[in-house]
Amino acid sequence: MSRFVDPKSRCTPVSEWPERDRAAWAIALLPADPFDPSVGYAARWKTNTTEMIQSGYGRWIGWHAFNGTLDPAVDPGDRATQDHVIAFRDMLSAAGQADYSIAGRLQQLANALKAMEPAGDWQWIQRASSRIHSRAIPVRDQVGRMQPVEEVIALGHDLMHAAEHDRFRTDCDRATLYRDGLILAFLMQRPFRRANLTSMTLGRHVQRRGDQWRLSFSAAETKGEGAIECAWPGPIEAALDRYIAQHREVLLLGSKGPKKPTQALWISRQGQAMGSDAIYYQVRHRTKDEFGTAINLHNARHIGATTIATANPSGATDIMHVLGHASMKPSEKHYNRATMLDAGSTYQATIAGLRGGRDEDPQVFDAHDQRAAGRSG
C-alpha cells in the first residue's frame, strides 16, 4: 500500500531547491570559519539535527512550489515574509498537524534561515514557534494508545508467521509482512528514536560479532549525546537472520529499473531504503488494523518506558538508558504514568515472562497462534 503525500507539504529534496537556496545551504554545511560567521553555521549541528532541519525547509520549499510562489530569483530570506509564514502555518493546521508539530516546523524553518542567512533576524519566527508550542494542547491520548508490550510483540510475531505460511501471497507481499512484523517486535524491545530506527544499516549499525548481532550508534548519531551499544534482542535474532537471508533479498529486487545499492536494514517494496515516513506509516497501519487505535513510533517509546516503570519501579535509571535520555528528567513522567496504571500490581519483570514463555522462533508457534492466518497484510 503506497502512502499518499499531500503536495502542499511535500518534502522537496535539496537537489530540487532553487539554486540560491542550494548554494546558501551548501555554505552553511561547510566547516565553520572563525573569521567569517556567514560560513559553516550548520557545522555545529549533529547529523540528525541537520537532516531534520533540512527536511523541514524542504517542506517549506514544497509548499511554495505548490502555491506557485517559488521564485528562483529570490533569496531564501526574502521569501520568508510574514504573510508567507502565516499561510504556511495555516496550511499545516488545515492538514491536521498538531500544534506541537506546527511549532516544530516553524522552528526548523527559522533554524534553516539562520544557517543560510546568519545576519538576518529570524527571532520573530522562533518567537511565533514558542508561542504556538506554549499554548498547544496535547491532542494525542498516550494512555489510550498504550497497548500491552506483549500484545504488540505478539502482533509482530503473528505477522512474521503469516508471511512464512500464507502461500496465497506474492513473495513481495510476504517479505513486506515479515519486515513489518520484525520492526514491531524489535521496536518493543529496543524503543529507538525514529531517526535511529530509520538509519540502521548492515555492517555499520547492525553488526554480526561472533554468534550475536550487535547494535552500535556513535554519540553524533543520537539525540541523547551518548553512544548506543547493545545487543540485538535475543528472542528475535533468528527472525533477523531469516529476514536478511530471505525477505530483505526479495525486497531488494523491488520494482524494475536501476537502483542504488544500499546497506539499509529496512527495505521498501521499491528496493530502496525505507524513509522515516514510510516506517512511521507501516507501524501505524499494522497496529491500527489489529488494535483499532494506531501506535506511532513515539507511542512505542512510551510503551517501553511505562513497561519498565511498572515492572520495576525501583529501577529508575533503566528508562534513561533504554530510551537514550541524557538525564532522568524526561523519563520521570513515565513513572507517574505507571502509577496511574496501577504500578502496585504484580507485573512480570521481563518481556519473556509477559509473553508466558511462548516460543520466539517465528516459524514455530502454538495452536493459539492460529489467529495469524487472518492477517491481511
Quote the domain boundaries for residue 110: 7-135
Q: 98 and 200 in one domain?
A: no
Q: Which three cell numbers stand for residue 85?
A: 509564514
Q: 241 and 215 in one domain?
A: yes
338-360 pLDDT per residue, tens: 443 333 333 334 455 555 545 44
- At 336 the pLDDT is 42
Q: 255 and 115 in one domain?
A: no
List, run by run, the mean pLDDT of 10-residue segments along the chain (377 residues): 47 91 96 92 84 88 93 95 95 83 91 95 94 73 63 89 83 93 90 88 93 88 74 92 96 75 93 91 88 80 63 47 46 43 36 52 36 40
Q: How many folded domains does the chain comprise? A: 2
Give the whole-angstrom CA distance, residue 374 versus residue 166: 10
> Does residue 44 form part of some domain?
yes
> Does residue 365 form part of some domain?
yes
- At 362 the pLDDT is 40
Q: 261 and 205 in one domain?
A: yes
- At 308 the pLDDT is 56
- At 201 the pLDDT is 95
- HEC states along the chain? CCCCCCHHHCCCCHHHCCHHHHHHHHHHCCCCECCECCCCHHHHCCHHHHHHHHHHHHHHHHHHHHHCCCCCCCCHHHHCCHHHHHHHHHHHHHCCCCHHHHHHHHHHHHHHHHHHCCCCCCHHHHHHHHHHHHHCCCCCCCHHHCCCHHHHHHHHHHHHHHHHHCCCCCHHHHHHHHHHHHHHHHHHHCCCCHHHHHHCEECCCEEEECCEEEEEECHHHCCCCCCEEEECCHHHHHHHHHHHHHHHHHHHHCCCCCCCCCCECCECCCCCECCHHHHHHHHHHHHHHHHCCCCCHHHHHHHHHHHHHHHCCCCHHHHHHHHCCCCCHHHHHHHHHHHHCCCCCCCCCCHHHHCCCCCCCCCCCCHHHHHHHHCCC
- Nearest Cα neighbor of 138 from 87, 106, 91, 103 is 103
Rounded to 5°, angle at Cα 92 from 24 and 63: 40
> Does residue 2 form part of some domain?
no
**End-of-domain residue from the set 111, 135, 159:** 135
> Does residue 74 form part of some domain?
yes
> Does residue 178 form part of some domain?
yes
Q: What phi and psi values does residue 366 have, to the nearest 5 degrees?
A: -80, 175
Q: 348 and 309 in one domain?
A: yes
Q: 167 and 105 in one domain?
A: no
> Does residue 63 form part of some domain?
yes
Q: Which three cell numbers stand for residue 357?
A: 514463555
Q: Domain of 272: which CATH number? A: 1.10.443.10
Q: 205 and 251 in one domain?
A: yes
Q: 188 and 44 in one domain?
A: no
- Nearest Cα neighbor of 233 from 207, 210, 215 is 215
> Does residue 1 form part of some domain?
no
- Nearest Cα neighbor of 289 from 126, 180, 191, 196 is 180
Q: 150 and 42 in one domain?
A: no
Query: Global pTM?
Result: 0.56
Give the whole-angstrom CA distance, residue 159 versus residue 177: 6
* Crossing angle for the helix pair 123-135 and 99-116, to the nearest 10 degrees: 170
**End-of-domain residue from the set 101, 135, 169:** 135
Distant-in-sequence, close-in-space partners of 318: CB < 8 Å, separation ≥ 6: 308, 312
Q: 358 and 233 in one domain?
A: yes
Give the whole-angstrom CA distance, residue 183 versus residue 343: 28
Q: 175 and 209 in one domain?
A: yes
- At 6 the pLDDT is 54
> Does residue 77 form part of some domain?
yes
Q: 147 and 126 in one domain?
A: no
- At 352 the pLDDT is 55
**End-of-domain residue from the set 107, 135, 163:** 135
